Amino acid sequence: MARGKGTKVNRQQLAEVFGISLPTVDAWRRAGCPYVVKGGSGKEWAFDTADVAEWREQRARDEAAGNEVQDEAALRKRKLIADTKIVELEALAKMGELAPVVDMERALTRVMAEMQSKLRGAFVSRCVSQLLGEQDERKFKAVLLAEVDSTLEVLAGMDVTGGDEAADGGDDDA
């Protein structure tokens, strides 16, 4: 940064130099605009115009490059939101209403492996043995629906949260 190479000005003068309003000066200050003297308790803010100009140019470069430019208040708000989400997730986990993604992936893999095993193995074998030589469409539908229901009942009763061992993914092609 230029560090003091410009003119020292107060808030009003800074607004005039940059052609902005006093609320804009305050917004810049909250967004990280450099100052020489912090105002308050009867003390006036003091700014170096070169430092402020360089700060504005850097923000413009960051914005043009796609870098996120946020003021301090926006960053505090984001942190508060993130902290709140963490607390909410921790509460859900304590209530048993939140499962880690790895556990969900493992459970889904077990279900899919079991579905493949049941559908490609016993399901097919039982249907073939019951329908061999059958020509009645109603019988076909009844047998297939009964076997689908039976397979779904087995899958519904499956404990997908048990152990780390993989589900039996054997292929019982008969």
Q: How many domains does the chain have?
A: 3
CATH of the domain at 59: 1.10.10.10
Contact yes or no for 11/44 (Cβ under 8 A): yes
Boundary residue ending a domain (16, 46, 67): 67
For 87, the domain range is 72-98
* Predicted confidence (pLDDT) per residue in 105-160, tens digit: 888 888 888 888 888 887 888 888 888 888 899 998 999 999 888 888 888 888 87
On whether residue 105 sits in a domain, the answer given is: yes
Cβ pair 59, 28 in contact under 8 A: no
Q: What is the pLDDT of residues 33-75, one digit of tens each?
A: 999 999 888 899 999 999 999 999 998 888 888 776 666 677 7
Position 166 in a domain: no
Same domain, 94 and 106: no
